[in-house]
Structure 1
Amino acid sequence: MPDCDESRSTHDKFQQLQSRLQRQWHSLDAQVDSDSDILVVPSLSLDRGELAKVEGCLHYEERLLFSLMRLSNPRTRLIYVTSVPLAPIAIDYYLQLLPGIPFSHARDRLLLFSTDDYSLQPLTQKILDRPRLLDRIKQALRPDRSVMTCYNSTSIERDLALKLDVPLYALDPDLLYWGTKAGSRQIFAECGLPHPDGSELVFNDRDLAQVAADLWARQPHLQRLVVKLNEGFSGEGNAILDLQGLGDSTNYLSRIEAISQAFPSLSFQGHNETWTNFKAKIGHLGAIVEAFVGGDGKQSPSVQGCITPTGAVEILSTHDQILGGPDGQIFLGCQFPAAEGYRRQLQDLGLEIGKNLAAKGAIERFAVDFIAVPDSDGNWDLHAIEINLRKGGTTHPFMTLKFLTNGYYQMDDGLFYSQQGKPKYYVASDNLNHPHYRGLLPNDLMDIIAHHRLHFDTSTETGTVFHLLGCLSEFGKVGLTSIGNSLAEAQQIYQKVEQVLDLETQSIDPQSTLPIAWKCR
């Protein structure tokens, strides 16, 4: 473990490196004609146990392939690193979407590197463990013209930035706490935002039972609690504790004991999770409990923003999230924009949180998840749930739309407009899947897209853009963003893709529909 002097030296060197960002960060704007190199390291530097729950997680490094659209700037060079080589057809697919740029010109400005390592170790660590590869990447970058971007920032991303001498346009790892469940709750309290009653951070099951009993005592009518791993993501680290049937004893010690005995029967949201495994993660990651927010017609919206290296806060988008799993805790997809009834309120709350984060020194992406519950007067009560300080599941569909249309988000109405002034909408998912899709190669998908004309049409700026092509053959799932001129049209485009894939794989279901959540509005 590094001593204090070494840690201080690393911190000081990183801060000095980051001071270059203020003159370089604008190179990440697709609308700025800048002569720069962008290094994309799409490492999922997350808890490996939690990451293993996501089928095809290794291929989620492909989610940042929307970054290839930055090559629409004719002087931008892009270096993209992955754990395993990308299918050439996936690269061609994205480059052919670039408006007004010859394919060969863009391809000459793209450099691809791979570690040829299929393990679940974070990509960033794989690069650090390969000094020759690290040296080749460094030689490809032009000094003082390069910026590194990533999926999420940890100490190893900081180490990589220092070794490459490239500023990191991402969160300082020293601020990671503010993107945890406990850190989020602290910021909500500082901002005076409504959020569910909950607990402090604990690191063992006995303390967890105690804080759960404390919460139950404060709210005796509660029927369910949510147990959350402090660094869980996409809802995979959540579990539901059903308080009904635990008895109505008001004795504090009896309640703690009843809750402790109920832990093995928690409703785990993650795939193949067990109490034994979950308990071990509590010791490693920590956990909190929160009151479960219920209500008929509740929705799960989010707001996304960005903090520039100068401290300016910008709202980028709002979404209604599509959730699944046993108790509706797992992120499956999203639709843009969020419902009109709470869209502007999301923007206002997002700005408050963004300013709080900026004052703490955070930069780049942030997203805030909420639960919206309608009241009897038709208004919406918003409850802040958590802050994500990384490029999440709503990042790539929005950036895909932005780069494809070169359009703009308007705060007045919370809509996105193309350069022709036409509002655009989309439905997106990382989880269009069916066992019958297994065995489809990326080339097969391209054949299907072309035959049924499912691809994005640059003349109408509608259609579907696919991602996660590497997941298709082995895991039978693919990601997509279906863009329309109305939300209904975007849903129809998405549904057509689903129906075509079912037909082409001989698994058509005439009753197949969009998830119910997409019909709630």
Structure 2
Amino acid sequence: MATAPGMQGRPALSTEPGPVLDILRPAVIPKPPFPGDFSVEAERELFGRIQPRLSDLWNALSAREEQAYTSVVVPSLTLDPGELEKLEGSSYYEERLLFLLIRLRNPQARMVYVTSRPVHPLILEYYFQLLAGIPASHARSRLTLLCAYDASSRSLTEKILERPRLIQRIRYGIGDPNRAFLTVFNSTPLERRLAVLLGIPLNGVDPELEHLGSKSGGRKVFREAGVALPEGFEDLRSEDDVLGALETLRGRRPGIRRAVIKLEKSFSGEGNALFRYPEEAGRSALSDALRRAEFSVPTETPAAYRKKLEAMGGIVEEFVEGGETRSPSCQLRIDPHGRVILISTHDQLLGGPTSQVYLGCHFPADDGYRRQIQEAGRRIGEVLAARGVVSRFGVDFLVRRATGSERWEVFALEINLRIGGTTHPFLALEFLTGGELDPESGLFHSPSGLAKFYRSTDNLRSAAYRGLTPEDLLEITTINHLHYSQGTETGVLFHMMGAISEFGKIGLTVIGNGPDSVDAIYDNAIAVLDAETAYGCGSARPPGRTAPDPDARPTRRERRDTIAVPRIWPDPS
């Protein structure tokens, strides 16, 4: 794995661990342009000149022969700081895009990957060894890994822009800027500025169009696309606006029981508040009920929520209920030529106090409505493409039916005009199998022809997992045979491994050859982790977890006659 040289003409240094690496690293002299060198207007003009190169590069990369290029990955969560604070271990979410190492399957491709804090070497080795179709050593030699060494809660892009020498290191890693592009989690003016400083196009939505991915912007796009959406109101900026919307909504939907208030730029459902209509009529009764609104995150307060609403705006919409409801999503891409391409569909797993927080997903979405949401997603994508959007994006839906024999009703809820929570698990599937999606059926087939299924989460957590290091996790999963097997095309792929020691939190994607296979592997993986961290506690394990199958292969810890109980350790019960 190479790192950028400090001065042009010097050879790249290895970033393999070594005691004198930092001493030997050549000095980097930052060169212009610097972040303060141009106005916003000049920045927009330069961005407009650079961005068309993405289309030419896309044509080259779509050709049959493998082409040389450099992908610069900055997995910055450039989101509202107040909303980002709700996301425990947010800086470790930067590890989710390590699945983009799949791009190194092209032997001509290079990658520059930047993070806030160092990525553990074993985590990188873990992914390289599982990368299908290319020797790990060859892929490793084409990766430049850089770090801001800043674990603060600010976005990674901010940290990079504050560090001219880090920007220069990225430039060195790029090589030819005419054969490079920038990939980010979401696009804001900060990412645009970084793209201009690096002199490469942004593989994401123009920040001037980011309003189309807001809660209000999404509702307007749905109407234009002719896709059904819940009754509601957008562009709300105050408590009075919200009360007026709730009052009008009650008039339009007699008998309505609940409504949802959503912050304009919130994510993962964590900016939602559930409102329950009082029996009494009138603005006063609504105002009292609004004070009792239920937030998706327990730490949220009415005063703080009101300030966020005034700062970023929001919407009110009916809470669609009655009969059977589910929460699928559709992930698509608009390429530089305006073509709308299906990526995947999922059934989302929601939780939290109001059952609106994204916890994970199943792939693919149910047969009963998969083609319906694919078609709705395509129509929404056509509207976005007509506005000039070039980006991955996802659409969250709610589907409902009164009885099992009826056709599902589909309602579009919101647009995520960025990489989302369902992006990295699908990348994991591509990463491991080298297969592809059939856009007609929405099913993914490996090269062997098997249809693949998975379940993924970023939120597997237990107090007992705290203190485990990435080394411990990899040892547990290896000895207990949890890893993905190329032979059976099933197994577990972990992500966000850096978060486990500090937060007791880990992400995983479980791949199987059918829904039942996925569930069995998932339950076994959790049982193994729980057993391996139940230090001397006998059969006790965290509530709600499945006990190991007595007929299954014993875990390493179950093979031991005795185990010493650490004197200081969190009680896993």
Corresponding residue for residue 288 of structure 1: 315
Inter-partner Cα distance in structure 2 for 1:32 and 1:284: 49
Q: Determine the C-alpha separation between the residues in 2 that align with 1:511 and 1:175.
A: 44
Tell me what 2:188 maps to.
Answer: 154
What is the distance in 2 between the residues matched to 1:370 and 1:510? 31
CA–CA distance in 2 between the matches of 1:236 and 1:183? Answer: 18
Match of 1:23 among 22, 43, 56: 56
CA distance in 2, matches of 1:233, 1:138: 32
Deviation at 1:510, TM superposition (A): 8.9
> Does the CA-based 8 Å contact 1:263-1:275 persist in structure 2?
no
Whose radius of gyration is greater, 1 or 2? 2
- Give me the whole-angstrom Cα distance separating, in 1, the residues matched to 2:64 and 2:159: 33
Question: In structure 1, what is the equivalent of residue 246 of structure 2?
Answer: 212
Query: 2:215 maps to which residue?
Result: 181
CA distance in 2, matches of 1:46, 1:126: 14
Determine the C-alpha separation between the residues in 2 that align with 1:454 and 1:314: 33
Q: Does 1:127 align with 2:127?
A: no
Cα distance in structure 1, aligned partners of 2:375 and 2:106: 32
In the alignment, the residues of structure 2 paired with residue 434 and residue 490 of structure 1 have an alpha-carbon distance, to the nearest angstrom, of 21
User: Which of 446, 457, 460 is the matching residue for 2:474?
Assistant: 446
> Which region of structure 1 is more displaced relative to structure 2, 503-512 or 484-493?
503-512
Match of 2:99 in 1: 66
Query: Offset at 1:30?
Result: 12
- Give the unaligned 5+ runs of structure 2: 1-34, 535-539, 548-573
Query: Does 2:81 correspond to 1:48?
Result: yes
Say whether the 8 Å CA contact 1:206–1:260 is kept in structure 2. Answer: no
Q: Amino acid of the residue matched to residue 461 of structure 2?
A: N
Distance 2:130 2:60 in 1: 20
Does the 8 Å CA contact 1:227/1:290 hold for their aligned counterparts?
Answer: yes
Deviations 1:413-453 (A, max 9, x none): 21100112110000000011111111111000000111110
Amino acid at match of 1:190: E
Percent same amino acid among aligned pairs?
46
The aligned counterpart of 1:497 is 525
State the partner residue of 2:280: 248
> Any conservation in 2 of the 1:30–1:72 contact (CA below 8 Å)?
no
CA–CA distance in structure 2, aligned partners of residues 66 and 31 of structure 1: 23
Q: TM-score, normalised by structure 2?
A: 0.85
Q: Please state how far the C-alpha of 1:220 moved relative to its aligned partner.
A: 2.3
Q: CA deviation at 1:465?
A: 0.6
What RMSD over aligned residues (CA atoms) do the two structures have, in Å? Answer: 1.8
User: Contact 1:90/1:442 (CA < 8 Å) preserved in 2?
Assistant: yes
Letter matched to residue 88 of structure 1: P
Identify which of 452, 463, 469 aligns with 1:424.
Answer: 452
User: What is the CA-CA distance between 1:341 and the residue it aligns to?
Assistant: 0.3
- Change in Cα spacing, 1:152 to 1:390, as seen in structure 2 (3 Å) is same
Letter paired with 1:339: D
* Structure 2 residue 506 is matched with structure 1 residue 466: no
Name whichever of 151-160 and 411-420 sits farther off. Answer: 411-420
**Cα deviation digits, residues 142-176 of structure 1 (max 9, x gap):** 22111110111110000000000011100000011
Secondary structure of the equivalent of 2:130? coil
Residue of 92, 95, 109 corresponding to 2:125: 92
Residue identity opposite 1:158 in structure 2: R
* 1:204 to partner: Cα distance: 1.3
Cα separation, 1, equivalents of 2:63 and 2:139 = 14
**With structure 1 as the length reference, what TM-score do the two structures score?**
0.94
| Partner Cα separation in structure 1 for residue 249 and residue 400 of structure 2 | 21
SS in 2 for 1:239: strand
**Matches of 2:302 and 2:58 in 1, distance apart?**
44
Q: Which residue of 1 aligns with 2:509?
A: 481
Give the whole-Å Cα distance in 2 for the aligned partners of 1:163 and 1:510: 51
**Equivalence map 1:257-276=2 (5 Å):** 257-276=284-303
Residues 188 and 513 (structure 1), Cα distance of their counterparts in 2 relative to 1, 3 Å cut: farther
Distance in 1 between residues matched to 2:542 and 2:69, nearest whole Å: 49
Matched, 1:341 2:374: no
Q: Give the number of aligned pairs.
A: 504
1:247 partner amino acid = E
Q: CA deviation at 1:483?
A: 0.4
Higher helix proportion: 1
